[in-house]
Amino acid sequence: MTDFLPVNKKDMLQRGWQQPDFVYISGDAYVDHPSFGASIITRVLEARGYKVAVLCQPDWHGTADFVQFGKPRLAYLISSGNIDSMVAHYTSAKKPRSNDAYTPGGVAGKRPDRAVKVYSNIVKSIYPDVPVIIGGLEASLRRFAHYDYWDDCVHESILLDSKADLLIYGMGEKQCIEIADRLNNGESIDEIHDVLGTVYAVDTMDTPYVGVECPSFENVCSSKKEYAKASRIQQDEQDHIRGRVIKQKHGKKMLVQNKPMPPLTTEELDWVYSLPYMRTYHPMYEALGGVPGIQEVEFSITHNRGCFGGCNFCSIAFHQGRYVTTRSKESIIKEAKLLTTLPNFKGYIHDIGGPTANFRRPSCDMQIEHGLCKGKKCLAPTPCKNLVSTHSEYLDILREVRSLPKIKKVFIRSGIRYDYLLQDKNDAFFKELVEHHVSGQLKVAPEHCSAAVLDKMGKPHIEAYVDFSKRYFKYTGEVNKEQYLVPYLMSSHPGSTLEDAVELALFLKKHRIRPEQVQDFYPTPGTISTTMFYTGLDPYTMQEVYCAKTPQDKALQRALLQYYNPKNARLVEQALKIVHRYDLIGFGENCLVRPSDKSRSKNTSRQYGNKAHSDFNKNKSKGKNQNNKKKR
């Protein structure tokens, strides 16, 4: 089959179908590309012989869109799309976004808030006897009782909130195939409670005896300490080798999460990425301006899944998992050759990457048999002694792809873990990265410079970034290129005080870094950092963690990271006064901001120190002399 899947009843009837086996509902527009989860799941089911109709961004104000295919034979599959619907709609300041990259023309508002819940409840009201299976990022991260930043309270599991029958968490290909086959064989959805990588609910009297129970919904609502305990259990068991069943009581229901599904093998990943994707958005969107979300990934190749980096603010560990699996070199080369045949290809492959581009194997050999270590990180605060850092296979792939006919350049735009790169004793990849795979600037993510804050982020200390940047510019100079490093920085992460933000501002000034954009910490469900934000506790130490929560606190930290911007001057001055850093307000080389006119009228010597006072008087005297010359 070399066409898009049916998107309406007319398409379905043209295929000779009277009824689909599955209707896949998504909050995104229909883009048939392997970077879109909906596309992968629907193509996988199609490849297994099932009839799948795609219902994208249905109008939730009525039921007409939801009934156009009729009742599916087996089930509804529901996802919010590639990203969480609330993140798609709102900034970290909870302000509505003006556009949506996964909607035709980038128009905002084409999906509801909490799309999975809304879609599922509508379907259940229309066809209460049809199984509803929810999945994707939004469902996966909300599978337990979770803190909802937008409502500022704890919500129950989305499985119960949506009235769905089953929840698939993580990457769902294997789960979907097994569930589809069992439903097709006549098994009731109420009996399918043993599929790995799924969550179901039963009456408490039917609670399985296996696994571990975390604090109940009622307890995590009433006690932040209990919430932190539950969060740690949920994170620690997210391993397909040593992870256990997790249970969480919700009133008279027991939520049960089965062990994680093992990740796809190399052979299975190769098969998934070989399916007949159209690799673009559906033509019905052309008149609306297309779907902007395709632009970054249209000529990109995903070569791996999973990430053992384990940043506390990132949802990948809780969704994809920390175990890294990869596609074969042959599969990647085949896709690269396919890209060169597409009509819009200009000779540039934008990325060969994934969650972290330079991971081509598990972080150590021990985890292959025993799983990833509980409560420990592979790279932070320092690399584990068992870490195996090698880029030889990745480099071999890059070399061959860039040598293919019609390919002018291969870039790496997804994240590079520079701390992992530094552990590789062979610097061949580092040098070729600089020479061949950077499009003028390389984006990396030190996030902060304070060791205390980086520990709460689960990131390496800043010395690793400094070491990396020195070598980066050294290698750049050796190939006579003008290239830059663009550091991603985050303000107001749990643990970051105003003093830490000042420390970061001084680091940026010292290293002449002027970030154009700064990301405020965004408390999304399912992360350790969000747990810290809500509870004020580190779930792994149960020690208190400072969190900037008010708009003013966040604005002060963000302004310090862009201290050089005149628009931020008064906020920077205010922040420095709060932490009694008057030495940084003035006219000296080390100062971050000049005093405001109001401040100058006060006792400058007492406030800003003798040097600042002297500099101020010199400038004042100079100004008087110039005025006298003008008068003469």
Which region among 13-22, 453-462, 529-538, 602-611 has the lowest average model confidence (pLDDT)? 602-611
As a whole number of angstroms, the distance between CA 198 and CA 208 comes to 15
3-state SS class at 97:
coil
111-120: per-residue pLDDT in tens? 999 999 999 9
- Give the model's pLDDT for residue 611: 45
As a whole number of angstroms, the distance between CA 245 and CA 230 comes to 13
Q: Predicted confidence band at 597 (pLDDT cuts at 50, 70, 90)?
A: confident
- Give the model's pLDDT for residue 523: 97
Rounded mean pLDDT, 394-415: 96
- Give the model's pLDDT for residue 596: 87
- Give the model's pLDDT for residue 317: 92
| pTM exceeding 0.85 | yes
Name the residue among 538, 543, 459 with its Cα closest to residue 231.
538
Residue 517 makes CB contacts below 8 A (sequence gap 6+) with: none
Query: Residue 166 above 50 pLDDT?
Result: yes
Q: Tell me, letter by letter, the H, E, C secondary structure of 491-508.
A: ECCCCCCHHHHHHHHHHH
Q: Tell me, letter by letter, the H, E, C secondary structure of 567-595.
A: HHHHHHHHHHHHCCCHHHECCCCCCCECC
Structural contact between residues 167 and 134, judged by C-beta atoms closer than 8 angstroms = yes
203-231: per-residue pLDDT in tens? 999 999 999 999 999 999 999 999 999 99
Q: Predicted confidence band at 53 (pLDDT cuts at 50, 70, 90)?
A: very high
Greatest CA span in the chain, whole angstroms?
Answer: 101
Q: Predicted confidence band at 1 (pLDDT cuts at 50, 70, 90)?
A: very low
Rounded mean pLDDT, 309-313: 95
Indicate the pairing of strand 484-491 with strand 519-520: parallel
Please give the mean pLDDT across all residues of the chain.
Answer: 94
- Give the model's pLDDT for residue 602: 58
As a whole number of angstroms, the distance between CA 91 and CA 435 comes to 36
- Give the model's pLDDT for residue 516: 83
**Measured CA distances, 605 to 326, 334, 587, 596 (Å):** 63, 70, 13, 14
Per the structure block, which two tokens stand in for 186? 């006549």
Rounded mean pLDDT, 23-45: 98
Per the structure block, which two tokens stand in for 80? 């919010």
Q: Predicted confidence band at 599 (pLDDT cuts at 50, 70, 90)?
A: low
Structural contact between residues 164 and 120, judged by C-beta atoms closer than 8 angstroms = yes
Q: What percent of the chain has pLDDT above 90?
A: 93
Q: How many CB atoms lie within 10 A of CB 467?
A: 13
- Give the model's pLDDT for residue 609: 45
